[in-house]
Amino acid sequence: MSDSLVIIPTFNEIENIEAIIRAVFDLKKEFHVLIVDDNSPDGTSEQVKILQKEFQNKLFLEV
């Protein structure tokens, strides 16, 4: 369980979102990550939903 939260606002970040999320989870400290997507038409939130399966209970999405 983490005591820290990283909030990442996104809009059209499909090309970067996976690398950003993995970079945070690769840090020595444990974090929860909240992606706040502003209804990206490029599918950013769908990519985050796929990654949520890998990072269960650590990666969250608000659209």
Contacts with 58 (C-beta within 8 Å, 6 or more apart), sequence order: 2, 25, 31, 32, 33
> Cβ atoms within 10 A of the Cβ of 7, count?
11
> 1-60 pLDDT, tens per residue?
789 999 999 999 999 999 999 999 999 999 999 999 999 999 999 999 999 999 999 999
Q: What is the pTM of this model?
A: 0.94
